[in-house]
Amino acid sequence: MLLRIRNAFRAPQFQYPALAVVLGIVVSLAYLPGLAGPFVLDDIPNLVQNSALVPPTLTFETIKQAALSGISGALGRPLAMVSFALNAYYAGGLQSALPFKVTNLIIHLVNALLVYALCRLLQHRLPARFQQNNGWMPLAVAAAWALHPMQLTAVLYSVQRMTSLSALFVLVGLIIFTHARARYAEAPSRGLLIMGGGLALGLILGCAVKENAILILVYAGVIELTMFDRTALSKRARVLLGGFYTGTLLVPVLIGALAIALEPSLVTADYAGRDFTLTQRLLTQMRVLWYYLGLLFAPRLGAFGLHHDDMVVSTSIIDPWQTLPSLTGMIVIAAVSWLARGRFPALALAGLWFLGGHAMESSIIALEIAYEHRNYLPSVGFIFGAVSVLGSCAAHTHYRRWVQAGVVLWIASLGLVTWLRAGTWSSDEQLIVTTARHHPESAKSQAMLAELLAIRYHKHDLALERYAYASQLAPTEPGYLIERVKIACSGAGATSRRAPTGAALLTRIPDARANSSGNGPDRSEVTPMPPGSLLSPDLPPVIWNRITNQLRSGPISAFTIRALVSTTDRATETVGTCRMLAPEFAKWHHAVIQNTRTNARWHRAAIFSLFELTFELGDYPGALAAADAGLRTTPGSMDYGLMRADALIVLKRLDEAERLLTQLGNRAASHDHAESISVLRTKIDTQRKQSSPRRRESTG
């Protein structure tokens, strides 16, 4: 009886589901240490500060508001935002990141099953030598992919659900496509319909989560080139297939190329906010891709991190010297992959899938230089290729069990690194200190540590050093200097360097005075400044000049705007030096507004912040000027119009304000705008009632 039960569970219909359950448990355990971690970085503006994601009830209107509340991507990523809103609704709010991370983990587990299903379909297209006794290969690919530490940010970084959920729809679409393509010869017309439906499903739903889902078309093309033989098809079938790929691949590429040729600013405009050029980015990406491959096949715990701005930008093909070999190596990978399509399709798919998967985020788009989550789907190709080669070796040697044991050991080591890395995500303090320690030359990592030191532990002298160090690492980023000013003007005197009780992690932070290259920040730039010293006429103007000049003509980043906007809160919520610096803060806002490199989003944020700063401090003419600056760039803006009306009211220009509100009322398209107009009309009525008694008294 026991023997029959054992043999039954060895059957594929029981064996693989059981192994899938085991894999799910193992992956969950690997991520368990980090599930209770907090929201971090982009989670804050996208989720925590987004009131539309906490609907009181689930109605069409609240779901619509959540869907349209996205601030990322060209499309706003509505489906991702709806998923976050559902998370928040059923979790009772955004107090904890746990429900979001658990949902991300579930999506990741589903994706692992989809990777398994896709790899099974692809394995059946391989030559016989790759299939013999290798039924374990798809499961090994799925396990290695799911447990790889490179995928961690797509799970534990809440907002990166945009990556994993988009990948889910892409994988579903590719599975439908591949299944239909395998049966295309039997019924070409029906096959094309299902293939197109699968790609359309993955494209539409995927792009509603994240725009890089458009790469489903590239992945489909790679599968066609490497896994299917078109010579055996009838002439009609080949013509139909050619027309299908012309419409799904060639035409979109030509349309995109034509759009960029006719309007280059579609690509070049965003580089105004970067400290690298288009050419420099393309050259640097050659090294970045090799860096990704290094993490993929030899994952080192210290090489991972939230930020990779410590990667030196390539300024030419020979500077740094690794640029030329990296470019040559990528060309070799592309050429070998192309030539291997016939005899070694798994290797061909590995290279072309990886390169195709980075065709957006590692090409001409002005994104940050490197992020690990960009490898979430591109990593599938090389893992599939590596396991296929190992499986082929195992099937044709006497060491089959040894090879399989080696694969299992490799997968286990990936899970161990993921578990160790997940532990650093258990708290924001652990994550920040670990990131700063592993990436001492990352300005963003050092700035995160400075913020932790200043806000949580009030170690203002250490924070000043960190920000000074960060500003040296990133000399074109004025935000770090602005943060130093904020700390200094808030009454941050000299404090003890001894870490506070219970903050054991702070004793292991890297020294800002000596980075890995042996250099450190200029000591004149990191000397703690006592309260009020920024107002001293004896203070060298280097910091003020750097901030003003960079804000006026340099690149403006998200960090710059965050630091600038926070000066409004500091000046309006405190009494003392920061409030005295309000005129200087206003000048900084004007510099950003006048900077031709400021994009529309940051320009709008600077105007809103300037209006709030001047209005709260009683500089109503300045508030009116801020509203007018917005209307000059966007004449029909309801928001700028409401700001102008508000300023006119407090300046006692009531008739002018009323005429403006009448004009705005005729164009109000949302409930919020109509409500704001009603509030401002009430303010006008109140002003008139208050002025009427005074007018009668003066007449009497």
Domain that holds residue 490: 430-617
- Considering the domain architecture, whether residues 180 and 279 belong to the same structural domain is answered as yes
Are the beta carbons of 243 and 188 closer than 8 angstroms?
no
Within a domain: residue 92? no
Residue owning tokens 């130093």: 484
> Dihedral (C-alpha) 394, 396, 401, 404: value to the nearest 10 degrees?
10
Residue owning tokens 């930008």: 313
pLDDT at 362: 93
Residue 225 above 70 pLDDT? Answer: yes
- Considering the domain architecture, whether residues 481 and 535 belong to the same structural domain is answered as yes
- Considering the domain architecture, whether residues 462 and 530 belong to the same structural domain is answered as yes
pLDDT tens digit sequence for 99-153: 999 999 999 999 999 999 999 999 888 887 666 556 788 999 999 999 999 999 9
Question: What value does the mean pLDDT take over residues 410-429?
Answer: 93
What's the Cα-to-Cα distance from 194 to each of 206, 222, 625, 663, rounded to whole Å?
Answer: 18, 18, 58, 52
The residue from 595, 617, 639 where one domain ends is 617
Question: What value does the mean pLDDT take over residues 672-694?
Answer: 80
Q: Name, in order, each residue with C-beta under 8 angstroms of 646's C-beta and a sequence gap of 6 or more.
A: 615, 623, 627, 680, 683
Residue owning tokens 């013509």: 239
Of 45-49, 230-234, 276-280, 534-538, least confident by mean pLDDT is 534-538
3-class SS at 319? strand
pLDDT at 128: 73
Question: What value does the mean pLDDT take over residues 4-8?
Answer: 43
Nearest-angstrom CA–CA distance, 451 and 464: 10
Within a domain: residue 43? no
- Considering the domain architecture, whether residues 416 and 472 belong to the same structural domain is answered as no
Within a domain: residue 101? yes
- Considering the domain architecture, whether residues 401 and 460 belong to the same structural domain is answered as no
pLDDT at 130: 65
User: What's the mean per-residue pLDDT of the chain?
Assistant: 85
- Considering the domain architecture, whether residues 435 and 357 belong to the same structural domain is answered as no
Higher pLDDT, 374 or 403: 374
pLDDT tens digit sequence for 452-503: 998 888 888 888 889 989 999 999 999 999 998 888 877 544 444 444 433 4
Nearest-angstrom CA–CA distance, 572 and 575: 8
Of 3-17, 334-348, 471-485, 568-582, least confident by mean pLDDT is 3-17
Q: With pLDDT > 70 as the criterion, what percentage of the chain qualifies?
A: 87
pLDDT at 541: 66
Nearest-angstrom CA–CA distance, 257 and 248: 15
pLDDT at 498: 43
Residue 265 above 90 pLDDT? Answer: no
pLDDT tens digit sequence for 525-540: 444 334 334 443 334 5
Residue 12 above 60 pLDDT? Answer: no
Are the beta carbons of 431 and 425 closer than 8 angstroms?
yes
Query: Any bridge partners for residue 319, and if so which?
Result: 316
The residue from 376, 393, 422 where one domain ends is 422
Work out the burial of residue 21: count CB atoms within 10 Å of its CB; fewer than 13 is exposed, 13-18 middle, 19 or more buried.
exposed
Of 206-215, 256-265, 366-375, 572-581, least confident by mean pLDDT is 572-581
Of 14-23, 364-373, 516-525, 598-607, least confident by mean pLDDT is 516-525
pLDDT at 503: 43
Q: Among residues 505, 493, 436, 438, which one has the least CA distance to residue 467?
A: 436
Q: Look at the pTM and tell me if it is higher than 0.85.
A: yes
Residue 392 above 90 pLDDT? Answer: no
pLDDT at 577: 73
Number of domains in the chain: 2
Query: Any bridge partners for residue 288, and if so which?
Result: none
Question: What value does the mean pLDDT take over residues 25-52?
Answer: 91
Of 43-47, 210-214, 242-246, 505-509, least confident by mean pLDDT is 505-509
Q: Which helix (H) or strand (E) is 675 found in, with range?
A: helix 671-699
Within a domain: residue 150? yes
Which of the four pLDDT bands, split at 50, 70 and 90, describes residue 510? Answer: low
Q: Among residues 208, 222, 215, which one has the least CA distance to residue 165?
A: 208
Q: Among residues 352, 356, 336, 349, which one has the least CA distance to residue 386?
A: 349
Which of the four pLDDT bands, split at 50, 70 and 90, describes residue 185? Answer: confident
What's the Cα-to-Cα distance from 480 to each of 307, 310, 433, 591, rounded to whole Å?
Answer: 16, 16, 18, 17
Q: Which of 321-330, 384-393, 502-511, 630-639 has the highest mean pLDDT?
A: 321-330
Q: Name, in order, each residue with C-beta under 8 angstroms of 221's C-beta and a sequence gap of 6 or more.
A: 245, 249, 356
Within a domain: residue 372? yes
Residue 245 above 60 pLDDT? Answer: yes
Within a domain: residue 165? yes
Q: With pLDDT > 90 as the criterion, what percentage of the chain qualifies?
A: 52
What string of DSSP letters covers 192-258? HHHHHHHHHHHHHHHHTT-GGGGGHHHHHHHHHHHH---TTS-HHHHHHHHHHHIIIIIHHHHHHHH
The residue from 568, 600, 617 where one domain ends is 617
- Helix then strand then coil, in percent of the chain rounded to 5, is 70, 0, 30
Question: What value does the mean pLDDT take over residues 62-84?
Answer: 89
Question: What value does the mean pLDDT take over residues 237-259?
Answer: 90
- Considering the domain architecture, whether residues 508 and 415 belong to the same structural domain is answered as no
Residue 395 above 80 pLDDT? Answer: no
Q: Which of 69-78, 203-212, 262-271 has the highest mean pLDDT?
A: 203-212
Which of the four pLDDT bands, split at 50, 70 and 90, describes residue 694? Answer: low
pLDDT at 414: 95
Higher pLDDT, 89 or 570: 89
Within a domain: residue 669? no
- Considering the domain architecture, whether residues 126 and 268 belong to the same structural domain is answered as yes
Are the beta carbons of 598 and 609 closer than 8 angstroms?
no
- Considering the domain architecture, whether residues 395 and 452 belong to the same structural domain is answered as no
Within a domain: residue 464? yes
Query: Any bridge partners for residue 316, and if so which?
Result: 319
Which of the four pLDDT bands, split at 50, 70 and 90, describes residue 163? Answer: very high
Q: Quote the radius of gyration of the chain (alpha carbons, Å).
A: 29
- Considering the domain architecture, whether residues 285 and 392 belong to the same structural domain is answered as yes
Residue 667 above 90 pLDDT? Answer: no
State the amino acid at position 27 in one-letter form: V
Are the beta carbons of 463 and 453 closer than 8 angstroms?
yes
3-class SS at 576? coil
pLDDT at 327: 96
pLDDT at 55: 85
Of 67-76, 312-321, 510-519, 644-653, least confident by mean pLDDT is 510-519
Nearest-angstrom CA–CA distance, 28 and 22: 10
Are the beta carbons of 98 and 36 closer than 8 angstroms?
yes
Question: What value does the mean pLDDT take over residues 179-187?
Answer: 91
- Considering the domain architecture, whether residues 418 and 494 belong to the same structural domain is answered as no
pLDDT at 484: 87
- Considering the domain architecture, whether residues 437 and 329 belong to the same structural domain is answered as no
